[in-house]
Chains A and B, each alone.
Chain A
Amino acid sequence: MELIISLTINGLATGMLIFLLAAGLTLIFGLMDVLNFAHGGLFVWGAYTGVFTYAWSESFVVGIIAAILTGLVLGFVTEKLIITPVYGNHVQQILITLGFMLVLQEMIKVVFGPNGVPVKVPPYLAGSWEIGELTIIKYRVFIIVVGFALFGILQFILKRTKVGLIVRAGVMNKEMTQALGINIKRVFLLVFMCGAALAALGGMLMAPYSGIVYAEMGMEYAILGFIVVVIGGMGSFQGSLMAAILVGLAGSFMAYYVPFLSVAVNMILMAIVLIFRPQGLFSVVKG
């Protein structure tokens, strides 16, 4: 029993981290119909700036804020320079954001050096609770809480506030929203910046969990994020959350019971889902 609980908590924590990454992708794809392969680059930039600020200021919270700010700024630049010329063309979007991904990943090595940087969990989140034979690592619980909280906030903003209404209207009918006097370009810019900030936040929270940040982590985790988005159905938050949890749990249980399959489990999950439901589990995009 203890084993199952602790495996579940591990899986949930990993799943939540992947959700943070996938949430940004879902936001950008689901609302703006943009395939952003540079997401991993934003993720790793968030992680590095956050970690360096954290080391410099010795405050984890300041690190998180720095990561989010980096995400916003990079999101602004990316949307203006890279995404604007290729709205509406998926093939070109894939190609251009992939190029930008390369630039972002290599720039990390230029700015912060080519070697990985170790990261420690802040003291108040370090350690674990012991309940009987069960050990619960605090940082994992923290991640799970943050993940669910962010999911709630995003759902609230999109479903219950005026901003969310405008964004959803803009997605449904660009011209009509524009005609109602709303600057749709600015709305899209804002959405993209939020997506980038989510990626950067994901990177920063991932850093103490994996204990080290390195330039190539962007691509590795971006692939994981994409898998989750595909499994969940492109553009659906609930789908991303479910799929992220599924991938996290599958990973943690497989690693214990069938270790040799654990590296491939995500790919296998995705293959199975795509064969039976090519549009993903909870798709809102027709196709």
Chain B
Amino acid sequence: MIKQPSILSKTNLFYALVVGVMIVLPIAMDSRTLTILLTQFCIFAILAMSYDILLGYTGIISFGHAMFFGVGAYSTAIMLSDFGPTLGSFMASIAVGIVLSSLISIVSGALTLRLKNHFYAMFTLAISGLFLVVAEKWRTVTKGNDGFTFRAPEFFRERLYFYLFVLICLVIVFILLKRFVSSPFGKVLVAIRENEQRTRSLGFKTLGYKIIASVVAGAVASLAGSLYAVSLRFVNTSVMTMDITLDALMMTIIGGVGTLIGPIIGAGVIEFAQHYLSGLARDYPIFERWIIFFGILYILAVIFFPRGIVGTVYMKYQEWSVKRGRKSATLKFVEEKE
């Protein structure tokens, strides 16, 4: 009989503590920059977690994740500017974004998820490229490359309230995704990642599982997009570019694939590093090209930390506890002898 972890386990207490600090920090510091930075961090943490459902849990590389982010951002921006900046229309726009993204991922998934890894990667690149082109050409709705500004709901004018809202979203998404990946369904996804052939021969219809994984990932990415649009109060086609996908990819890799806490940490590292490095650019011009450092970091991460920060820490911890376990066993043996 496996002991069920209680709600008040050590890990959960630790998470609660971290969330507590994140609530108190911007209130105590009273710094506008910090609040904005933390908001960005939470939004990208949501995006990176959704990406990891694909990359880390199911083993699918998608280059089209920005498409879902963009769908969310545009549905929110368009609905807020058309139906007035109220909380109601904001909530409705989140729902619209999620429904749209789910539909897109069902259709594109059904067509393409039977392709092999690299073909799928190319295909998602093409589809999201197509969406980017549509967004740029369909100027009556999207205003093309110039984008448009809109008014955020009254309640979110206060940066702090919006930050708290985003933080709550992050916590809820984290809990829901945690339930998702630790459910039997999530275990099948991991099995697909490890060996799709074998999973299929065990009688699982892997295509269906992969489609549902991509629907979940798409829906969560769309939520992140909605929040992102409100945080900027502006939207243009840059929300659909490859850069967004690359950011999510990099956060997932650096934080640690195949965990949910990894992408959050990765998002934190990258958001703060980005902020810090572009701050340095004022004194040292070379830092204006901070993407170079990111590229190098990224290469080094793939070569030396394929498991990312969380994976590496976890591995070290396991080694350590095995060592300690052995030691205590030896001690017990000695004690028994005596």
Binding site for B on A (CB under 8 A): 35, 82, 85-86, 90-92, 94-96, 98-103, 105-107, 109-110, 219, 223, 226-227, 230, 234, 260, 263-264, 266-268, 270-271, 274-275, 278-279, 287
Question: Which residues, 288 to 313 on B, are CB-close (under 8 Å) to A?
Answer: 289, 291-292, 294-296, 298-299, 302-303, 306
Smallest Cβ distance from B141 to chain A, in angstroms? 15
Chain B residue, CB-CB nearest to A84: B303
Binding site for A on B (CB under 8 A): 59, 61, 111-112, 114-119, 121-123, 125-127, 129-130, 133-134, 137, 242, 246, 249, 253, 286, 289, 291-292, 294-296, 298-299, 302-303, 306
> Contacts A99-B298, A102-B295, A109-B289 hold; do A92 and B306 have CB atoms under 8 A apart?
yes
Complex contact A102–B292 (CB within 8 A): yes
A151–B126 Cα distance when bound, in Å, is 26
Complex contact B126–A82 (CB within 8 A): no
Complex contact A274–B118 (CB within 8 A): no
A279–B116 Cα distance when bound, in Å, is 9
> Contacts A92-B302, A99-B298 hold; do A106 and B292 have CB atoms under 8 A apart?
yes
* B129 cross-chain contacts in A, Cβ below 8 A: 223, 267
Complex contact B137–A263 (CB within 8 A): yes
Chain A residue, CB-CB nearest to B136: A263
A1–B199 Cα distance when bound, in Å, is 57
- With most chain B CB atoms within 10 A of its CB, the pick from A96, A98, A275 is A98
* A263 cross-chain contacts in B, Cβ below 8 A: 133, 137
* B123 cross-chain contacts in A, Cβ below 8 A: 230, 270-271, 274
Complex contact A85–B292 (CB within 8 A): no
* B61 cross-chain contacts in A, Cβ below 8 A: 91, 94
Complex contact A99–B295 (CB within 8 A): yes
Complex contact B292–A226 (CB within 8 A): no
Complex contact A227–B291 (CB within 8 A): no
Complex contact A110–B289 (CB within 8 A): yes
* A278 cross-chain contacts in B, Cβ below 8 A: 114-116, 119
* A100 cross-chain contacts in B, Cβ below 8 A: 295, 299
Smallest Cβ distance from B51 to chain A, in angstroms? 12
- With most chain A CB atoms within 10 A of its CB, the pick from B111, B112, B292 is B292
A234–B133 Cα distance when bound, in Å, is 26
> Contacts A91-B117, A274-B119, A287-B116 hold; do A264 and B292 have CB atoms under 8 A apart?
no
Q: Identify 5 residue pairs between A and B in the complex whose beta-carbon atoms are under 8 Å apart, listed by A's number.
A: A96-B303, A103-B296, A219-B242, A223-B129, A267-B126
**Which one of B242, B249, B292 contacts A103 once the chains associate, using CB atoms below 8 Å?**
B292
Complex contact B126–A96 (CB within 8 A): no
Smallest Cβ distance from B206 to chain A, in angstroms? 16
* B249 cross-chain contacts in A, Cβ below 8 A: 95, 98
- Further pairs besides A86-B302, A230-B119, A264-B130: 19, Cβ < 8 Å: A92-B302, A92-B306, A94-B118, A98-B249, A99-B298, A99-B302, A102-B292, A102-B294, A102-B295, A226-B125, A230-B123, A263-B137, A270-B123, A270-B126, A271-B127, A274-B112, A274-B119, A275-B111, A278-B119
* B130 cross-chain contacts in A, Cβ below 8 A: 264, 267-268, 271
Smallest Cβ distance from B77 to chain A, in angstroms? 23
* B299 cross-chain contacts in A, Cβ below 8 A: 82, 96, 99-100, 103
A217–B102 Cα distance when bound, in Å, is 33
A85–B249 Cα distance when bound, in Å, is 20
Complex contact B122–A227 (CB within 8 A): yes
Chain A residue, CB-CB nearest to B252: A95
* A279 cross-chain contacts in B, Cβ below 8 A: 119
A189–B129 Cα distance when bound, in Å, is 33
Complex contact B302–A96 (CB within 8 A): yes
A225–B31 Cα distance when bound, in Å, is 47
Complex contact A260–B295 (CB within 8 A): no
A247–B18 Cα distance when bound, in Å, is 53
Smallest Cβ distance from B103 to chain A, in angstroms? 17
A265–B28 Cα distance when bound, in Å, is 54
* A95 cross-chain contacts in B, Cβ below 8 A: 249, 253, 298, 302
**Which one of A91, A103, A219, A274 contacts B295 once the chains associate, using CB atoms below 8 Å?**
A103
Complex contact B306–A98 (CB within 8 A): no
Interchain residue pairs A-B with the least CB separation, the first 6: A99-B298, A103-B295, A102-B295, A96-B302, A99-B299, A267-B126
Complex contact A106–B295 (CB within 8 A): yes
* A266 cross-chain contacts in B, Cβ below 8 A: 126
* A106 cross-chain contacts in B, Cβ below 8 A: 289, 291-292, 295
Chain B residue, CB-CB nearest to A35: B118
A260–B137 Cα distance when bound, in Å, is 8
A268–B133 Cα distance when bound, in Å, is 12
Smallest Cβ distance from B104 to chain A, in angstroms? 14
A227–B63 Cα distance when bound, in Å, is 14
Smallest Cβ distance from A26 to chain B, in angstroms? 13
**Which one of A103, A109, A230 contacts B122 once the chains associate, using CB atoms below 8 Å?**
A230
A86–B253 Cα distance when bound, in Å, is 15
Chain A residue, CB-CB nearest to B121: A94
Smallest Cβ distance from B58 to chain A, in angstroms? 12
A49–B62 Cα distance when bound, in Å, is 33
A109–B295 Cα distance when bound, in Å, is 14
A268–B126 Cα distance when bound, in Å, is 8
Smallest Cβ distance from A78 to chain B, in angstroms? 11
Chain A residue, CB-CB nearest to B122: A230
Chain B residue, CB-CB nearest to A82: B299
Smallest Cβ distance from A80 to chain B, in angstroms? 13
Smallest Cβ distance from B327 to chain A, in angstroms? 35
A287–B123 Cα distance when bound, in Å, is 16
- With most chain B CB atoms within 10 A of its CB, the pick from A99, A100, A102, A105 is A99
